[in-house]
Structure 1
Amino acid sequence: MSIIFLESKDNPKIKHLRGLIEQSSYRKKQGQTVLEGTHLGLAWVEKKKKLNSIFTTENALEHPDICDILDEYEGAVFVIAESLYRDLSTLGTTLPFLAVVDLPSSSQSVDFSLDTLILENIQDPGNVGTLLRSAAAAGIKQVICTKGSAALWSPRVLRAGMGAHFSLNTYENVAIEDVLDRFEIPVYVTSSHQAESLYQKDLTQACVWILGNEGQGVSDFALAHAQALSIPQPGGQESLNVAIAGSICFFEMVRQRI
């Protein structure tokens, strides 16, 4: 492991890092993304995955969490000024840690018999990351993301997912029309206008959950090719946040299977 001090914001390494943080097209072109925060860094190395480079500050180098990561790392550590780190960071107040990693390549095909989460045009990174986190906690291993949804491996979605990505098989930019009819298991969507309650449905077998856009909900195609379920809301609210609605569905499934 080598330690290299970088001072200029115009250094090519800093420009590359900034591009990965800020630009989805650049991440796709380079085949890389950025993990921010030691929680993600630790979760990554615990999965025996490779870190390409690490950026931190001089004061943070001796922190136990960073030392634990460095114990599993053999590359260069780039040390930058606190002010430059704050300019790059999307978190603000966490222990300074940024790591460049390769985007995973999905070597497996979609398994149409497994519990699956489909995110249809969900655009908020926080909602997407939270849904991945809840899905992973509920034992769902496969996530399909349609075009128009937030990029699964963007730094903001990674941050919200808190490491859930690392235990999931993910597929992005999928046309829902290409996959929905191929599932061999029940497919469900949530809808506030359907009479059948989530709590009346047998969820003990593998199934697919489709969750839709924060404003418009799921598409007409999804509604026509799935069973619609409602979440009872005796308080009379018009709708639930999509990440909360999805989490309720996942853990009702878990409750029935325990």
Structure 2
Amino acid sequence: MPTIFLESKDNPKIKHLRGLIEQNTYRKKQGQTVLEGTHLSLAWLEKGRKINSIFTTEHALEHTDLGEIIDQYQGAVFVISESLYKDLSTLGTTLACLAIVDLPTSTQALNFNEDTLILENVQDPGNVGTLLRSAAAAGIEQVVCTKGSASLWSPRVLRAGMGAHFSLQTYENVVLEDIIKQFKIPVYVTSSHDSESLYSKNLRKQCVWILGNEGQGVSEFALKYAESVAIPQPGGQESLNVAVAGSICFFEMVRQRL
């Protein structure tokens, strides 16, 4: 295993790494992203996927978790200072491991007869990652993001997803109007206005869930072409966090199908 020490923040490899971490346009242009932390890298490798390069610190090289990753990796390991790593990291308190990987390209066309999650302008990376994690756990394999949603393959969304991305078919920058009428299965939106209770719906067959923006909810277009469901809230709160609401819907679906 060749080990290469990089000291300058102006080194081209460091600049490339920083661009992938911080800029969505740069990630798209390069066709790459960054997995931060050993958990994501191990989950990636378990799917038989390749890591292009690894950046770590001298201290982290001694850790067995990093060693397990390096054992499955063929290239050079780039070692940087603790201070430079902290400057690059979005986590701050994890074992130093930044892995550059190629962005997956979806090889399958969207299936309009299968369970699907559509995120319409959901902007918070934590919410998006959590929803992907809950969807994957509930058996939903297709996730569609409209323009305006957080980038699915940003380091922050990847961190929140905890590896869920790697078992999902994902589609980004989709125009909702182009696809919603093509689904041959029920389409539901969460809305507190003029909606039937989630628990009154028959969710035993495939369906689509549309979850909307954290502040504004789903669009008028989505409300027009989908059935609205509400989650009963006897405590009287105005609304639930979108990731919490989505997770409740997914697992009510799971409960009915058991």
**Alpha-carbon distance in structure 2 between the residues aligned to 1:146 and 1:166:** 20
**Alpha-carbon distance in structure 1 between the residues aligned to 2:85 and 2:78:** 11
**Alpha-carbon distance in structure 2 between the residues aligned to 1:2 and 1:173:** 39
Residue of structure 1 in register with 2:87 after alignment: 87
**Alpha-carbon distance in structure 2 between the residues aligned to 1:169 and 1:251:** 20
Q: Report deviation, 1:64.
A: 1.0
TM-score by structure 2 length? 0.99
**Alpha-carbon distance in structure 2 between the residues aligned to 1:95 and 1:43:** 15
Q: Is 1:14 the equivalent of 2:14?
A: yes
Residue of structure 1 in register with 2:232 after alignment: 232
Q: Report deviation, 1:224.
A: 0.4
Q: Report deviation, 1:61.
A: 0.7
Q: Tell me the SS of whatever aligns to 2:60.
A: coil
**Alpha-carbon distance in structure 1 between the residues aligned to 2:138 and 2:121:** 22
Residue of structure 2 in register with 1:96 after alignment: 96
Residue of structure 2 in register with 1:63 after alignment: 63
**Alpha-carbon distance in structure 2 between the residues aligned to 1:234 and 1:138:** 25
**Alpha-carbon distance in structure 2 between the residues aligned to 1:13 and 1:234:** 54
**Alpha-carbon distance in structure 2 between the residues aligned to 1:118 and 1:195:** 19
Query: How far does the alpha carbon of each residue in 1:190-220 deviate from its partner, in whole angstroms, 9 at most, with x for none?
Result: 0111341000100000000000000110001
Q: Residue type matched to 1:214 in 2? A: E
**Alpha-carbon distance in structure 2 between the residues aligned to 1:32 and 1:251:** 33
**Alpha-carbon distance in structure 2 between the residues aligned to 1:195 and 1:150:** 27
Q: Report deviation, 1:70.
A: 1.0
Structure 2: tracts of 5 or more residues without a match:
none
Q: Residue type matched to 2:184 in 1? A: E
Q: Tell me the SS of whatever aligns to 2:62.
A: coil
Residue of structure 1 in register with 2:147 after alignment: 147
Q: Tell me the SS of whatever aligns to 2:41.
A: helix
Residue of structure 1 in register with 2:188 after alignment: 188
Q: Residue type matched to 2:132 in 1? A: L
Q: Report deviation, 1:106.
A: 1.1
**After superposition, where does 1:1-258 map in structure 2 within 5 Å?**
1-258=1-258
Q: Report deviation, 1:16.
A: 0.3
Q: Residue type matched to 1:22 in 2? A: E
**Alpha-carbon distance in structure 1 between the residues aligned to 2:29 and 2:196:** 45
Q: Residue type matched to 2:101 in 1? A: V
Q: Residue type matched to 2:127 in 1? A: N
**Alpha-carbon distance in structure 1 between the residues aligned to 2:194 and 2:57:** 54
Name the count of aligned residue pairs: 258
Q: Report deviation, 1:164.
A: 0.3
How much identity, in percent, do the aligned residues show?
78
Q: Residue type matched to 2:232 in 1? A: P
Deviation >2 Å, runs of 4+: none
Q: Residue type matched to 2:198 in 1? A: L
Q: Tell me the SS of whatever aligns to 2:160.
A: helix
Q: Tell me the SS of whatever aligns to 2:48.
A: coil
Structure 1: tracts of 5 or more residues without a match:
none
Q: Residue type matched to 2:11 in 1? A: N
TM-score by structure 1 length? 0.99
Q: Tell me the SS of whatever aligns to 1:25.
A: helix
Q: Residue type matched to 1:229 in 2? A: V
